Amino acid sequence: IREDPRYGKNAPYHGMPEGHLPVVSYMAVPVRGRGGEVLGGLFFGHKEPGIFTEHVEQLVVGITAQAAIAMDNAALFTKAQNLIERLARSNRELDQFAYIVSHDLKAPLRGIGHLSEFIEEDMGERISQEGAEHLRMLRQRVKRLDQLIDGVLDYSRVGRSNNLPEMIKVGELVADVVSLLSPEIQPAIHIRDDFVLLSDRTQLQQVFMNLIGNAFKHASRSRPEVEIGVDLGEGAPVFFVRDNGPGIPEAMQDRIWGIFQTLQNSSAAGTGIGLAVVRKLVELRGGRAWVESDGAHGSTFRFTWPGGEAN
């Protein structure tokens, strides 16, 4: 290093500071992160000349690569810890929001509904037909708003299940969902009795509940038909729920998955949250949810559910 023209010109020392070990050979190697940015450096000095050969340099470059990985990983770990803390804080805020919605919003709604019933009972035969109809409409809107609040709560809780995966006979689960919905429609279920899936039961049940309920609402009024099944290929199973309703225009086929999105010309009222919950649950699982429709002859909702095939 004494042959370098800059040697001895680094004020205020003009060489090495007093008391420093003698340095005649010197090598500095930058430590670069994954993105190419300089995180630091490794610096070596020796009192003898010609110590740092090309071979030594290659060894040190290898050491700096390991140091860079360690420093990058430490930074990623810190970022991950910060993210976990932010997510935990968000979950606490969601819990607080759910409490407020459940108690501070739903209680007045129930009061309004009960009050309309008391008014109708007190008025008895004195109430006009128009007045009775207005009270009925009021109760309907209270019920719809109550369902909307429940839907928002369901959406806020998506993916927060702590249930352990279990072996599920999917055909039985679908039959249970159909029974819970108590439909007048008897759907055709095309899922083998021996088809078993390792999964969170509550989440898979919620997906089928929302899609089957949606199909029951939109199926043809004169001759309703609903099919539920699974296509088995090389990858994850693809489940489907098909109805013979009016279909979904192509322009709406992506929008319907958003929260509060409903078909404006549909005669079946909904909260616009069910499909948003489906897509969120499926995507958290690493799957995909989509709809197929020509806009006039029914709709087929499909979703994949990766990672749980047991047979």
Extract the tokens encoding 46. Answer: 């020796």
- Total domains present in the chain: 2
Q: Looking at the structure, do residues 125 and 179 belong to the same domain, yes or no?
A: no
pLDDT band at residue 240 under the 50/70/90 scheme: very high
Q: Is residue 253 part of a domain?
A: yes
- Does residue 94 have a pLDDT over 90? no
Q: Looking at the structure, do residues 127 and 150 belong to the same domain, yes or no?
A: yes
Strands 166-169 and 25-32: unpaired
Q: Looking at the structure, do residues 207 and 259 belong to the same domain, yes or no?
A: yes
Q: How far is CA 75 from CA 63, 69, 72, in A?
A: 18, 10, 5
Q: Is residue 239 part of a domain?
A: yes
Instruction: Provide the domain limits for residue 96.
Output: 91-157
**pLDDT confidence of residue 110:** 81
**pLDDT confidence of residue 266:** 54
Q: Is residue 55 part of a domain?
A: no
> Is the pTM higher than 0.85?
no
Q: Which of 130, 157, 184 is the last residue of a domain?
A: 157
Average pLDDT over residues 273-287: 89
Q: Is residue 100 part of a domain?
A: yes
Q: Is 74 exposed, middle or buried (0-12, 13-18, 19+ CB in 10 A)?
A: exposed
Q: Looking at the structure, do residues 208 and 254 belong to the same domain, yes or no?
A: yes
Distance CA 273, CA 280 (A): 11
Q: Looking at the structure, do residues 183 and 147 belong to the same domain, yes or no?
A: no
- Does residue 6 have a pLDDT over 90? no
Residue 226's nearest CA partner among 185, 266, 190 is 185
Q: What is the 3-state secondary structure (H, E, C) of 256-299?
A: HHCCCCCCCCCCCCCCCCHHHHHHHHHHHCCCCEEEECCCCCCE
Residues paired with 20 in a beta bridge: none
Residue partners of 308: CB distance under 8 A and separation at least 6? 165, 197, 198, 199
Residue 253's nearest CA partner among 275, 237, 238, 270 is 275
pLDDT band at residue 271 under the 50/70/90 scheme: low
Q: Rounded to 5, what percent of the chain is helix, strand, coil?
A: 50, 15, 35
Average pLDDT, the chain: 83
Average pLDDT over residues 283-292: 92
Q: Which of 157, 182, 198 is the last residue of a domain?
A: 157
Q: Is residue 190 part of a domain?
A: yes
Residue type, position 17, single letter: P
Q: Cβ distance 244 to 223 under 8 Å?
A: yes
Q: Cβ distance 144 to 269 under 8 Å?
A: yes
Express each pLDDT in 204-236 by its tens digit: 988 999 999 999 988 988 899 999 999 987 778
Express each pLDDT in 154-198 by its tens digit: 776 676 666 788 899 999 999 999 988 877 788 999 998 889 989
Q: Of 84-88, 95-99, 197-201, where does mean pLDDT reach its minimum?
A: 95-99
**pLDDT confidence of residue 145:** 79
**pLDDT confidence of residue 77:** 92
**pLDDT confidence of residue 236:** 80
Residues in the chain: 311
Express each pLDDT in 123-146 by its tens digit: 888 888 888 888 888 888 888 777
